[in-house]
Amino acid sequence: MSNGDESTVYHDPEASQRDHEDTPQESPSESADETESDSSKKTVNGSNKTIKFARTPGEASQGHIIDFRTPEGNKFYKEATKPLDSLHDLSATNLRDFIGLLEHHAEVYDWTTINEFEDPEDNERILSLFTDYGLLTLRYIQKFAKGYEGKTNRATQDSQMMADCIIRSLTVQARQTVTLYKQEYTINQVQSGPCMLKVIIRESHIDTHATTRIIRDKLQTLDTYIVSIDSDIVKFNEHVKDLMQQLAARGETTYDLLSYIFKAYEQVNDKVFVTYIERFKDKFDEGEYIGTNYLMQVAQNKYKLLKEEGKWNAPSSEEEELVALRAEVQNLKISKANKVKSEGPPKGRQGKGKEKKKYGVPKKPRKPSWMYIPPKPNESHTKTVGDKEWHWCPKHECWVRHLPNKCEGKGYVPNKRKNRNEGQQTRQTEEHQPEQEPPNKKVKMAEALLAYLQE
């Protein structure tokens, strides 16, 4: 194997010769768009050139050391290390999207090999860092990376390109956090892409033995979560899939997910949606198989349909009648108030007690309380308040300006004080009585509307 300073892409000459010998020779009768062969011929400057078929740029140079000094090698590096479509901020909610984008990028540039590991507990099983990260420890990944990092091979090139792509796909704050653990993803004095990914996964959420229990607790409380997001079915389904992926990454699963989802959908604040889901629950209770993915898909379709039709969380017919009834009563109140204001008080009712207040006539101010306190037996029936002289009038039962012997009885109401005291006692008695249960809102509104219409 040659060193990394070669000016051409490294490959095994004997392997190249074998590839050339195994390349089928195309006859004139063979179809030009043949897809069964891994190789094809192309005429370049009058000569035939063998081109090996590949699905991605990485697959085309699989196993070959890349010479980054050449235009092709330099271009390959720039494309491979471009940041992903969205930057990761080390939040648990964005982790699934970040890993999905990176996994696709790794497939395009053939980084799959350095991210696959033998299962420590089952040598015949292969684990992927992208999907089984919960079963792989950082120490195990570091041990595997020591076998190729810092050496002259394609694996260390892929690892470095992966690390460069990851670091460019982080937010500033996330990058500052990850670089604090640089020694954990530095192997043989070079940066390891797989080790860096494992550190990012660890920092994006709690990655301990308690994580599985926490995920299960979140699944059991899906009914609370759906209320907290205002019954957003799309967001809810994504949350469920994210939790299940985290559980699967740790080699775990749950057999009660369908029950948790049914329970959560029952808390949705749309009656039409709840009734729709109850049909599937009845089928399940009767023995019909209902898959979780299928249930979430039909629920999401129903949610989107109701949203598009403007019927999501729409009021029922009874609620609509009640709203219309309230509006009609309110309009009648406003109409009657405007009518009274424009016509004024009826004839013969001006200035009488409550009519003054009802029709906007200013009410005479109430007398101060001291004017109704009689003098004691040994006290004078005349006193000065401010700069005015007042006299106690037995007939009016209050302090007045006129002399008692000259009282003409103006404004005198027999037993006025007695009636006022009795009224106060009656009100106090009513206040201490237990409150009656208010009538039904709809009945109350209907009675009010009927009363206005009768007037």
pLDDT digits (tens, 9 = 90+) for 6-49: 333 333 333 333 344 444 444 444 444 444 444 444 554 555 66
pLDDT for residue 14: 39
The Cα 153–Cα 190 span in angstroms is 13
Q: Which long-range contacts (CB under 8 A, 24 or more apart) does 363-369 make?
A: 367/398
Cβ–Cβ < 8 Å for 106, 89: no
pLDDT for residue 346: 59
pLDDT for residue 438: 55
Would you tell me how many other CB atoms lie within 10 Å of the CB of residue 39? 14
* 3-class SS of residue 398: strand
Distance of CA 70 to the CA centre of its chain: 49
What number of H helices and E strands is found in the chain?
Answer: 18, 9
Q: Which long-range contacts (CB under 8 A, 24 or more apart) does 371-376 make?
A: 371/398, 371/399, 372/397, 372/398, 372/399, 372/417
> Which position has the token pair 């989802």?
261
> Which position has the token pair 């007042």?
390
Phi-psi region of 386 (alpha: psi -120 to 50; beta: other; left: phi over 0): left
pLDDT for residue 81: 96
Contacts of 70 (CB under 8 A, 6+ apart): 7, 8, 9
pLDDT digits (tens, 9 = 90+) for 92-141: 888 989 999 999 999 999 998 999 999 988 888 999 999 998 889 999 99
Which token pair is 408?
Answer: 């003409």
Please state the three-class secondary structure of 263-285 as a single string.
Answer: HHHCCCCCHHHHHHHHHHHHHHH
Spatial CA neighbour of 11 closest among 51, 79, 53, 61: 61
**What is the maximum alpha-carbon separation in the chain?**
144
What residues of the chain score a pLDDT lower than 50? 1-41, 44
Phi-psi region of 403 (alpha: psi -120 to 50; beta: other; left: phi over 0): beta
The Cα 181–Cα 138 span in angstroms is 12
* 3-class SS of residue 368: coil
pLDDT for residue 325: 73
Give me the torsion for CA of 340, 343, 348, 349, rounded to 10°.
Answer: 20
Which token pair is 292?
Answer: 């979780």
pLDDT for residue 410: 74
List Cα–Cα distances, 397 to 356, 391, 417, in angstroms: 25, 10, 8
β-strand partners of 267: none
